[in-house]
Amino acid sequence: MLNIRRYTFLALTFASLTSAAQKTRPLFDGKTLTGWKAVAGAAPYKVEDGMIVGTMTKGTPNSFLITELEYGDFVLELDVKLEGETTNSGIQTRSHIKAEGNNGKGLVFGRQVEIDPTVRAWTGGIYDEARRLWLYPLELNSPAKSVYKKNEFNHYKIENIGDELKTWVNGIPIAYVIDTLDQSGFIGLQVHGIGNELGNDGKKVYFKNINIQTEGLKAKTFPKGVYTVNLTPNTLSAYEKANGYKLLFDGKSNAGWKGAYKPAFPEKGWKIASGVISVEPSGGAESTNGGDIVTKEEFSAFDLSFEFKLTPGANSGVKYFVTLSENNTGSAIGLEYQVLDDVLHPDAKLGRDGNRTLASLYDLITSKKEARYLRPIGSWNNGRVVVYPDNRVEHYLNGVKVLEYVRGSEEFRKLVAISKYKDWKNFGEAPKGHILLQDHGNKVDFRTIKIKSL
């Protein structure tokens, strides 16, 4: 006797699978470049053995093979093999081209999923081509650096639904960016320019099994604990909230903050408007106008992120483990993530070996940063301080780790002994303290200040 229930179940399952398969379609027919066009650079793209093959070519800038159609929400999957270990490639998402850019050859810009076989190992990270540069370096998810397989095909999954962009490489979750720019755009396959790496001339990048789904999309949940770059000002996603983050600044009020050594928030010297909390300019003197502000709450081990925007020549800082027990004049005492215009402010030339420059542990440890990871004065930059329960501390600038140290270690105490903090007993070793935004008399903006207790 026919089992009607089992038959019906199998039929529905088959129909469901068939429906899902129909929603996914190839972007590449395996035979021609129909639906694609080459732009920007002169690197050639050909079809060979059912693959799109791009060849690195000396004397040309970055080249792109882009879709003629634009896409909004999608899930894209493809396999990519990149020859060499000093080469580079990427996959453009919701991107655009400025026809007059690049000396009339066209300038491609937009979010790119990185393919990086170098020792840096940032494959799957998010780069904003020709615009904001790095959004999600793999310093933010360092365990994922080991996922990429050199000189082999790697499987990429890219999910771009609404403002959320997530990436997986070989099934492992890599990057998570929430960004309000670009609701649609083309998809592109990059052949990177080789610059002076002439040994890469002629090396190839292979793309195959390129499939896209644009209907019936359902966001795939990331596992707990992956750091999120959320570029929506003063907002936490449901994922961030579930991971324990909270906002220290709500974008509207001074709730949760007060003046250092004051019972309330300063009546002057600070301005809150348009989702930004700003230090008002007052001639560049330290804590002589509104003075520093601190969180009412104290923190011990934590993951703190904040956005800041400098004006030309400005100086400020974000301090942590501020106890307010010193009752000193001037800026309150604490470990300081330096916020500074390194070019125009004289403090960058003081101290020792640059230990008063941007993102440094002020007057103690110099941040090791490359110019290409900086955003211009007047643009928003991302700072981050992570303090682990074992007293390890890390500073990040725009997602890149620029220094690390251990509070209370012998090396740390030796640095304190030759610093301006040498007269403060047990400097920087308090079990908990406030977070501080510094008034150094220059206009500096802050927003999206979020923290997670560890």
Output the pLDDT for position 10: 43
CA distance 28 to 174: 25
CATH class of 19-213: mainly beta
What is the mean predicted confidence (pLDDT) over 401-418? 98
Q: How much is the mean pLDDT over the chain?
A: 94
Name the least confident of 79-83, 149-153, 177-181, 329-333: 329-333
Fold of 243-453: Jelly Rolls (2.60.120)
Q: Which run of H or E residues covers position 110?
A: strand 107-115
Name the least confident of 163-167, 280-284, 410-414: 280-284
Pairwise pLDDT comparison (286 vs 154), residue with the higher score: 154
pLDDT-derived band at 256, boundaries 50, 70, 90: very high
Q: Residue 252 is which amino acid?
A: K
Output the pLDDT for position 1: 43
Residues of the chain with CATH 2.60.120.560: 19-213, 243-453
Percent pLDDT > 70 in the chain is 95
pLDDT-derived band at 16, boundaries 50, 70, 90: very low
Tokens of 442: 């220059």
CA distance 356 to 366: 7
Output the pLDDT for position 2: 41
DSSP 17-62: HHHHHHHEEESS-SS--TTEEEESS---EEEETTEEEEE--TT---
pLDDT-derived band at 286, boundaries 50, 70, 90: confident
C-alpha distance from residue 206 to each of 38, 110, 200 (Å): 15, 22, 15
The 10s digit of each residue's pLDDT in 358-394 is 999 999 999 999 988 899 999 999 999 999 999 999 9
Query: What SS3 class is residue 435?
Result: strand
Q: Is the pLDDT of residue 18 over 80?
A: no
The 10s digit of each residue's pLDDT in 76-97 is 999 999 999 999 999 999 999 9
Q: Which residues contact 285 (CB under 8 A, 6 or more apart)?
A: 440, 441
Q: Which residues contact 394 (CB under 8 A, 6 or more apart)?
A: 384, 385, 386, 401, 403, 404
Nearest to 305 by CA among 354, 249, 260, 258: 249
Output the pLDDT for position 334: 98
The 10s digit of each residue's pLDDT in 162-212 is 999 999 999 999 999 999 999 999 999 999 999 999 999 999 999 999 999
pLDDT-derived band at 284, boundaries 50, 70, 90: confident
